[in-house]
Amino acid sequence: MYSIQLKPVYSCPASNVPQEVHLPQGWQLSWHQFETLKALRDPNIDVVFNTAMTGDGKSLAAYLDILQGDCHAIALYPTNALAADQENQVQSYIDDFLPPNEPRVNRLSGPELEIYSENEGLRKGSAIASRAGQSEVLITNPDIFHYLHRGAYLTGKDTPDKLWNRIDKDFDLFIFDEFHVFAAPQVASVLNTMLLIQATNRRKKFLFLSATPSDSLLKRLDKAGFRCRVINPIDEGKYQFPETQAEAEALEADHWRQVARSIDLTFVSMEPTSKASETWLKENQEPILKQFLEHPGSKGAIILNSIAAVKRLTPAFRECFAQYGLTVRENTGLSGGQEKAESLAADLVIGTSTIDVGVDFKINFLIFESSDAGNFIQRLGRLGRHDGYQKDGREIQFDGFMAFALVPNFFVERLFTGEGVVLADGDICDRLQFHTLIRENYRRINDFEGYYKRWGAVQSVSLGRQLSNPAVKSQYEGSVQKFQQACETVFEARFGQVFGRIKGWAEEWQNLSGQKTGNPIAEDAMSFRGSSPLQCGLYDLTEANERDRFKTYDLPGVLSNLEIEMWSKSAFLDMLDETAKRTGQPIAKGRFKHCLGFMKLRGYREERLNWKFTYPGDLQPIADAYKVQVLIGLQVWQPDNPWVSSINQRLKKQALVCYVLRKPVREVRLRLQLPMHFQIYPASDANSVHDANAPYSVAFGQSALLIDTLAHRFRREGGEIWVA
């Protein structure tokens, strides 16, 4: 293990803030917050990027104009849990600022939309319009925002623009938070929606909040004629890293705000196996407990990549800590009410989510895994935000901040022992220097830059056809050409060529299926996150809150990690209805409509089970085609699993958008620099089903499209593939 110390971080205050900017008594803006407000009010700027460090108040910067009573906004968050957390945060701001127009804040997710439309007796489209019309701040996710611009939630009698035309006009500002978590398909969808708004509306404002801005996105926006401004406190020298107490006191005297405390960070080298971190944590329960016994009042978090690992570890830590009157809770980011209150009162939380960690749940001790450089920086950023916390009306002060990063051994070698070593044990670093080292030396993952040119314009063509609909054609006569030109420029693809590809996929699907409608490949390319043909409905018996027991889980995760019992759809839905009636709270069930199967989750396996997809024919010609295809007939091979046969009865009838590669999964992951959680799986055919290692890899849905953006640049030489 190697340890370093990170210096504290101070953020520069804003200067010359005019009196007409209303702030609560005693509040002061940071430089980046006021610069964001000015940029959003500048008529010569369309898009603003705020890249302040994690914990430096980007959320307040986003809502500052709304809190002055001058603006209506839609805020888009990548997860429903984060949206719920931000709804509370915005309401707290309103309570502090007391804006004169008393803005109404409403949240809209897929489940809430379903329940709201049922309760109000409205269709989903009418429910969206109703909820939006009652809001000055509408908090939702980019999925809903994307689909309403695609013309979803409408009936055949509605005009294509019925929803988005009204919403785009009513709201002035569109906020995209945590934008760095989106992959290329989601970024392309956001670009398409922005281009549609630009072509059909007066100038609107777009705000992106992310500590890791995308140069590629900026270039594409610039190509499309958007006028962008990047608010970057790092480049502007608006952070200071004092080394002494005297330096810190001098900064505080000048109203610089401390946003991160000094942290002792230890790197723990992990073997590249799936359970390495989990094993280390089990073996180190006693030393972890010692931190809490030697530093009374400590609060800690363990943030992992695997929910299955969390489920296995939490009971063990709970039992270990309980002997000393300490409490351990699970943190999934989904809890609410009493369950959330109990979680915030815990001494240690274990989870995959950073919701609440470092915000409401203030910590001075952190152990974390990470999947890439950005994820590492984001998770470490949850530590050291506060000097202490309140308990029973008294202030508990932390006496130091400590973190353990569970990272791959190659990463530790690059930093401390390899050629060109960049750190030494005991070094003291500022955050900017440290973040640069992390980005340069952690695993490089593919950015799928080729996706935009190859697939981005598929959705553009669909949106363009909306504008050409006879019902609205005259209204958008000037917009159609403007939109097409912008899309062709941004995605470097001609509409005519893209339309030809879409038509070709439709013909292939009709020949395969015998159906006269449908186009699965185009549908995946036009969706926000892609379809989920392998999704299963789970009734989670390990979940304490019975309303939260109804979940969805992808089949590969079920096969690897879960102890389940097969269940019927009717029994699952009957239990859902019964639970909703008994608790008096509705439970949305639309997400279970197309599930592959239904199961009871009884527990999480101690060891992951091996399995693979199988194809009854020959996969060689399918892999040699080097293209996205629709396959029917895939099944699962896992001979010791008694319930797989019942799943296969349904799975083999599923039409699956696939990309098949003639290489094992591990090799494909390494060669293509795929992200940790990229969905690609082992596959065999009739000739290789009994091979110890599956010789093929298969990706589905949008993952197949992403693989295609890489593989279409490959050349074949003697059966080998390599990046051209």
**Are the C-beta atoms of 460 and 452 separated by less than 8 Å?**
no
What's the CA gap between 174 and 156, in Å, rounded?
28
Work out the widest C-alpha separation in the chain, in whole angstroms: 78
Tell me, yes or no, whether 17 and 111 share the same domain: yes
Distance CA 352, CA 369 (A): 9
Residues sharing a CB contact under 8 Å with residue 37, sequence separation 6 or more, in sequence order: 21, 29, 61, 64, 65
207/278 same-domain check: no
What are the beta bridge partners of residue 554?
535
Decide which of 391, 409, 428 is a domain's last residue: 428
Determine the Cα angle at 385 with ends 383 and 387, to 5°. 110
Convert 596-618 to b/e letters by CB count within 10 Å (16 or more is b): bbbbbbeebeeeeeebbbbbeee
Q: What is the mean pLDDT of residues 538-551?
A: 91
Which region holds residue 408: left if phi is over 0, alpha if psi is between -120 and 50, else beta? beta
Pairing of strands 348-351, 9-11: unpaired
Query: What is the rounded distance in angstroms from the CA atom of residue 133 to the CA atom of residue 167?
Result: 8
74 in Cβ contact with 174 (< 8 Å): yes
Q: Which two tokens stand for residue 337?
A: 């009410």
Count of other CB atoms within 10 angstroms of residue 120: 12
What domain range is 350 assigned to?
261-428
CA quadruple 64, 70, 72, 75: dihedral, nearest 10: -10
In a domain, 521, yes or no: no
Q: Which phi-psi region, left, alpha or beta, contains residue 296 (left: φ > 0; alpha: ψ -120 to 50)?
A: beta
Strand pairing category for 47-50 and 205-209: parallel
Mean pLDDT of the chain: 91
Strand partners, 715: 722
Q: How far apart are CA 403 and CA 367, in angstroms?
A: 6
Residues 132 and 278 grouped into a single domain:
no
- Region 616-643: mean pLDDT is 94
Q: Is residue 472 part of a domain?
A: no
Shared-domain flag, residues 583 and 639: no
- CATH of residue 234's domain is 3.40.50.300
Strands (E), 607-724: 612-615, 629-632, 635-637, 655-661, 680-685, 696-700, 714-717, 720-723
Instruction: Output the pLDDT for position 332.
Output: 67
- Give the end of a domain, one of 604, 630, 664: 604
The percent of residues in the chain predicted with pLDDT above 90, rounded, is 74
Are 619 and 585 contained in the same domain? no
* Residues 587, 707 within the same domain: no
Do 158 and 212 lie in one domain? The reply is: yes
Residue 337 has pLDDT above 80, yes or no: no
Query: pLDDT for 451-510, tens place per residue?
Result: 999 999 999 999 999 999 999 999 998 899 999 999 999 999 999 999 999 999 999 999
* Single residue among 563, 582, 604 that ends a domain in this structure: 604
Residue 717's pLDDT band, with cuts at 50, 70 and 90, is very low
What DSSP character marks residue 243?
S
Q: Residue 348 in contact with residue 317, Cβ under 8 Å?
A: yes
- pLDDT over threshold 70, residue 334: no
Q: Given phi > 0 = left and psi -120 to 50 = alpha, else beta, which region is 246?
A: alpha
- Domain membership of residue 642 (yes or no) is yes
Give me the percent of the chain exceeding a pLDDT of 70: 97
Instruction: Reply yes or no on whether the pLDDT at 79 is more than 50.
Output: yes
Residue 722 pLDDT greater than 70, yes or no: no
In a domain, 495, yes or no: no
Q: How far apart (Å, rounded) are the C-alpha atoms in residues 300 and 402?
A: 9
Q: Decide: helix, strand or coil at residue 382.
A: coil
Residue 338 pLDDT level (bands cut at 50, 70, 90)? low
The Cβ of residue 6 has, within 10 Å, a number of other Cβ atoms equal to: 25
Q: Is the pLDDT of residue 30 over 90?
A: yes
* Assigned domain for 377 exists: yes
Residue 460 lies in a domain: no
User: Strands (DSSP E) along 116-198, which ranges?
Assistant: 137-140, 173-177
pLDDT in tens, 695-704: 999 999 999 9
Does the pLDDT of residue 621 top 60, yes or no?
yes
Do 670 and 566 share a domain, yes or no? Answer: no
For residue 703, the SS3 value is: helix
601, 541 contact by CB (below 8 A): yes
86/229 same-domain check: yes
**Over residues 153-170, mean pLDDT:** 88
pLDDT value, residue 80: 86
Mean pLDDT of the region 626-651: 94
Pairing of β 655-661 and β 629-632: antiparallel
Q: Count how many domains the chain has.
A: 4
Q: What share of the chain is helix, strand, coil (3-state, %, to 5)?
A: 40, 20, 35
Residue 714 lies in a domain: yes
User: Are residues 46 and 95 located together in one domain of the fold?
Assistant: yes
Domain check: are 278 and 424 in the same one? yes
Query: Do 131 and 29 fall within a single domain?
Result: yes
Does 712 have pLDDT greater than 90? no
Other C-beta atoms closer than 10 Å to the C-beta of 311 total: 20
Q: Is residue 18 part of a domain?
A: yes
